Amino acid sequence: MKKEVTLSKKLESELEFHGVNRRDFLKYCAAMAAVLGLSEFEFTTKVAHALEAASKKPAVIWLEGQDCAGCSISFTQILNPPAASIILDKISLRYHETVMASAGHLAEKVYHDTVKEGGYVLIVEGSVPSADDRFCMVGGRPFRAIVEEAAKKAAGIIAVGACATYGGIPAATPSKGIGLDKALPGKAVINLPTCPVHPDHLAGTVLYFLTTGKVPPLDKIGRPVMYFRESVHDNCRRRSHFDAGRFLKDWNDPKQKEWCLFQKGCKGPMASSDCPIRRWNEGINFCIDCGAPCQGCSEPGFYAGMTPLYTAESEISKRIWAMREAGLIPRKES
């Protein structure tokens, strides 16, 4: 029998203050619980307890290096649905160059005071130039030095997006951008790749930390297993066409519309992410379902290692094809 979740008066009034009804809040908790492998009752009770207990908000510093601010835009989507914003209201975002109201010396003072205090969560967006520090200077200082400084007293470090995790697009530029895997060798970093970071991946990771006080289980390259366990190919709805050898070659032929995008450069068999299940923009769509091949943005080597993007001529596409021919990509059970 399903156990009834009881919310405290304090939490009920907080929901009311944010204009969130109880049903929507519980629905959001149920969705997050499924990802974290907990029962709805267990998770909601934990969330309610964490919200009650959060007398002091954990401080967060968000740094931006060589980036396009796409992950910041993705992050602001966390505020919708409002149920998530209640939970994220429990963090204190002290420094974020794009969204903070303060600027100049005042903003820098907040940053330095927080670093001095220590014990904050450091979120980094964008890569660090490895060719020359002058490619990315913030407030007159090398971004590399700021990242190293902020990492020293951080309680936890999260790299968001393809650039901050493994270098991303800036790795293919003269700046030779690197991710935190190389910029902070030996430091424990939670990697949330994809270009941009998925808002649910970030919200879920913060929630996991808030509800358990621990870092979620990570794979060999630092990604939370709960989001990067399966390949895009495993859950792609075009998968039966890949198995049957029906590959889209002509965008203008309506008969081929639903066929596999491998010949158009899809890297889905080599990319791990729950994009086909979670989708983007609150579950509306994702690359492959709107006709764009997967570019493997969840993997080290994106972007340069995945080019050319729209044909199957890259080394990685050749590897995928060789694996298919050798029967190493098992057919999906229908």
Least CB distance to ligand SF4 at residue 267 (A): 7
Q: Report strand pairing: 154-160 vs 190-192.
A: parallel
Q: Quick check: 184 binds ligand SF4 (CB under 6 A)? A: no
- The question of whether 136 is a catalytic residue gets the answer no
Least CB distance to ligand SF4 at residue 329 (A): 9
Cβ-based nearer residue to ligand SF4, 201 or 239: 239
Compute the distance between CA of residue 4 and CA of residue 333 in angstroms, rounded to an integer. 36
Least CB distance to ligand SF4 at residue 192 (A): 21
Asked whether 125 and 72 are in contact (CB, 8 A), the reply is yes
- The question of whether 287 is a catalytic residue gets the answer yes
Q: Quick check: 312 binds ligand SF4 (CB under 6 A)? A: no
- The question of whether 112 is a catalytic residue gets the answer no
- The question of whether 297 is a catalytic residue gets the answer yes
Catalytic residue, chosen from 29, 136, 163, 201, is 163
Q: Name the E strands within the chain.
A: 59-64, 92-96, 120-125, 128-129, 137-138, 141-142, 154-160, 177-178, 190-192
Write the CB contacts of 171 (distance below 8 Å, at least 6 apart in sequence).
127, 163, 177, 178, 179, 303, 304
Asked whether 34 and 43 are in contact (CB, 8 A), the reply is no
- What letter represents residue 62's amino acid? W
Least CB distance to ligand SF4 at residue 288 (A): 5
Q: Which residue among 44, 238, 314, 316 contacts ligand SF4 (CB under 6 A)?
A: 238
Distances in Å between the alpha carbon of 101 and those of 79, 106, 111, 139, 302? 17, 10, 13, 17, 33
Q: Which residue among 151, 180, 261, 297 contacts ligand SF4 (CB under 6 A)?
A: 261
Q: Which residue among 266, 287, 297, 306 contacts ligand SF4 (CB under 6 A)?
A: 266
Compute the distance between CA of residue 143 and CA of residue 149 in angstroms, rounded to an integer. 10
- The question of whether 163 is a catalytic residue gets the answer yes
- The question of whether 29 is a catalytic residue gets the answer no
Kindly report the number of other CB atoms within 10 A of residue 34's CB atom: 13
Stretch in the footprint of ligand SF4 (CB under 6 A) among 31-39, 173-181, 233-241, 308-316: 233-241
Cβ-based nearer residue to ligand SF4, 262 or 303: 262
Instruction: Give residue 131's Cα distance to chain centre.
Output: 26
Q: Which residues on adjacent β-strands are paired with residue 224?
A: 218
In three-state secondary structure terms, 226 is: helix
| Torsion 249-283-229-164 (CA) sign | positive
Q: What is the largest distance, in Å, between two alpha-carbon atoms of the chain?
A: 62
Asked whether 20 and 27 are in contact (CB, 8 A), the reply is no
Q: Which residue among 294, 306, 312, 316 contacts ligand SF4 (CB under 6 A)?
A: 294
Minimal CA–CA distance to 7: which of 38, 50, 36?
A: 50
DSSP code at position 299: S
Q: Quick check: 296 binds ligand SF4 (CB under 6 A)? A: no
Catalytic residue, chosen from 18, 71, 96, 136, is 71
Q: Residues 44-83 vs ligand SF4: string with x where CB under 6 A?
A: ----------------------------------------
In three-state secondary structure terms, 127 is: strand
Cβ-based nearer residue to ligand SF4, 206 or 232: 232
Least CB distance to ligand SF4 at residue 250 (A): 15
Stretch in the footprint of ligand SF4 (CB under 6 A) among 30-38, 65-73, 82-90, 234-242: 234-242
- The question of whether 71 is a catalytic residue gets the answer yes
Cβ-based nearer residue to ligand SF4, 48 or 266: 266
What residues are annotated to the active site? Answer: 68, 71, 163, 195, 233, 236, 260, 266, 275, 287, 294, 297
- Interface ranges with ligand SF4 (CB under 6 A): 232-233, 236, 238-239, 242, 260-262, 266, 268-269, 288, 294
